[in-house]
Amino acid sequence: MKKQSIAKGFAILSIAGMLGKVLSLLYIPFLKHIIGPEGYGIYMATYQVYTFIFVITNAGVPVAISKLISEFTATENHKNALKAFKIARLMLLGIGTLMAIATVVFAKPLANLVKYNRAYLSVLCLAPSVLFTAVSCAYRGYFQGRGNMTPTAISQIVEQFINIVFSLIFAAFFIGKGLEQGVAGATVGTSLGALISALYLIYYYSKHGKIRPYKHKGEIKREHRYTKKQLARKIIQYGVPITLCVGMNYAGNIVDLWNTKSRLLVAGLSNSEANILYGQLGQYQQLINVPIAIVSSLAAAILPAISGAIACGNKKKAKGNINYSFRLCFLITLPSAIGLTVLSSPIYKMIHLGEGSDIMKYGAVVLILMALSQIQTTILQSIGKLYLATFYSVIGIVAKILVNYTLIAIPSINIMGAIYGSVTGFLIPIILNHLTIRNSLRVKISLIKISIKPLISSLLMGAVVFIGYKLFNSIFILTNIHYLTVVLSTVSSILLGVFAYGMALILTRGIRKKDLNQFPPKIVKIIPGFMKRMIR
């Protein structure tokens, strides 16, 4: 199995992540049409509960697999890498089984706890997917540790496609029996998608994925052999703090779910209105998850690269990968946030998301902070500062809950208080993470300096997109079909924005000749020739 470069692995996971998130975004209007705005609010609450269970099950061990295998592979300890994977796979299978049973047992108390008692059936229906995803995550961690992102990417696309198709089918089938049943039907596809994904990864591993011992002139290289107990201890040492770190973030989301609902009721809204507003917040989160999927792919690609470099004692390479990851993070998130701010209303109309575009207009900045925090946490995981990342996350969560509790109850602010809370909740850990990374690696990383050129380019792009949309709208309105006008104007503006951003990056020297060498060749090929010639 051939190892892929960071750039190629990042590109593969990014494309898959983007495609999966776009598919999940496009199916929102179809699902809302079937189960209604209130049903969608219950559906989003269900997935907050499910996501918490998912990360408790799968957050730590797969990352531990990826980190361990990348370290063992970098030092050519291939037998230890294979043994570590088999132990971790067994651990995940056991954890997945226990958590699936726990989901069945505690589905009703969890739904009642977050004040969404009507989500009980849908949480119950997601129990099988907890087990199936545990199996999938074991294999994904293995392949990522080996530097092969292709099977992970394919499994993600397959899983999402099956999820969407069968979720819509079962939602339509059960909605006639009641709202709760319809929402529960909308979760069936998740379990089916997770099952097919797991089966595909098992098949791929059996055919292409097994580690072959490294040989020197016909002889197998000697390796330091770890016992099963030692490897299990290493997996636990890596996995537990990561689970705590990610788990605390999602535990904060669960508290936030309860907090948001209860404070909306205090603000004077009815139970149904609170559900609808939470659904709008969920739509906003689904939208910003599209660019966040790219950053998540970057995090998955750089973790084994940084871990491997540190295992070999190559700090220079590790620092280079860290700087590269921050640059890419800003190059992706800054134009995405500004684009979503400028085109929030047209995008909502184009995708038939209904009300809630103001949440996107003012909340797009959160995706920059979320992405930056995610990259920093990955770096801290790579250099062994796992518990510090957890501690900083807890501080951010507490601050977020306090801000939400105060602001959401104010009738004139209501759901927008959740945006202010998110900004506060990410900003605090970002500052603390930055100080820790700088002091631990003894390297100066100026996030402001790294972000200046992408920010200037993004602002220029935003101005072009704003003017372009107005012009395109005045032209396409001649079609006399309102929806067609919105679609053509929005798509044309986005394409114009991509071109404007690229040109602005070249003019500000936000992208350089040597950067092209790090990009996958297939991406470089689609850049127009005249633009490539302008890059210095």
pLDDT tens for the chain, 536 residues long, are: 555 555 565 566 667 766 777 777 788 889 988 999 889 888 988 988 888 888 888 877 887 787 788 777 776 777 888 888 888 889 889 999 999 999 999 999 988 887 788 889 999 999 999 999 999 988 888 887 777 778 888 888 899 899 999 999 999 999 999 999 999 999 999 999 999 999 999 998 888 756 555 454 444 455 567 788 888 888 888 778 777 777 777 777 777 778 888 888 898 888 888 888 888 888 888 888 888 877 776 666 666 667 666 666 676 777 777 877 888 889 889 999 999 999 999 999 998 888 889 999 999 999 999 889 888 888 887 777 877 888 888 899 889 989 999 999 999 888 899 999 999 999 999 999 999 988 887 777 788 888 999 999 999 999 999 999 999 999 998 878 888 999 999 999 999 999 999 999 999 988 877 766 666 566 667 777 777 778 77
Assign 220 to helix, strand or coil.
strand
**Residue 217, pLDDT score:** 45
CA distance 218 to 239: 36
Beta carbons of 303 and 381 less than 8 angstroms apart: yes
CA distance 180 to 193: 21
Assign 259 to helix, strand or coil.
helix
**Residue 360, pLDDT score:** 92
């114009």: which residue's tokens? 496
């370290």: which residue's tokens? 71
- Sign, CA dihedral 154-15-514-370, equals negative
Nearest to 194 by CA among 295, 54, 292: 54
**Residue 339, pLDDT score:** 94
**Residue 256, pLDDT score:** 74
**Residue 524, pLDDT score:** 67
| CA end-to-end distance (rounded Å), the chain | 36
**Residue 432, pLDDT score:** 93
**pTM of this prediction?**
0.76
Residues 6+ positions from 184 with CB-CB distance below 8 Å: 121, 122, 124, 125, 174
Assign 221 to helix, strand or coil.
coil
Angle at 360 (CA atoms; ends 357, 362), nearest 5 degrees = 115
Q: How many CB atoms lie within 10 A of CB 471?
A: 13
Q: Read off the tokens for 385.
A: 């500062």
Residues 6+ positions from 307 with CB-CB distance below 8 Å: 66, 67, 70, 71, 74, 382
**Residue 218, pLDDT score:** 47
The helix or strand, by DSSP H or E, that contains position 279, with its residue range, turns out to be helix 271-311
Q: Which residues of 49-82 are buried (b: 16+ CB within 10 A; e: fewer)?
A: bbebbbbbbbbbbbbbbbbbbbbbbbeebbbbbb
CA distance 44 to 42: 5
**Residue 304, pLDDT score:** 63
Beta carbons of 131 and 100 less than 8 angstroms apart: yes
Parallel/antiparallel/unpaired status of strands 219-220 and 215-216 = antiparallel
**Residue 124, pLDDT score:** 93
Nearest to 167 by CA among 137, 208, 126, 228: 126
Angle at 104 (CA atoms; ends 103, 107), nearest 5 degrees = 70
User: DSSP of 426-480, one letter per residue?
Assistant: HHHHHHHHHHHHHHHHT----HHHHHHHHHHHHHHHHHHHHHHHHHHHHHHGGG-
User: DSSP of 158-173, one letter per residue?
Assistant: HHHHHHHHHHHHHHHH
**Residue 220, pLDDT score:** 46
CA distance 531 to 510: 13
Beta carbons of 117 and 183 less than 8 angstroms apart: no
User: DSSP of 381-441, one letter per residue?
Assistant: HHTT-HHHHHHHHHHHHHHHHHHHHHHTTSTTTGGGHHHHHHHHHHHHHHHHHHHHHHHHH
CA distance 133 to 254: 20
Beta carbons of 293 and 23 less than 8 angstroms apart: no
CA distance 385 to 383: 6
Assign 65 to helix, strand or coil.
helix
Beta carbons of 309 and 318 less than 8 angstroms apart: yes
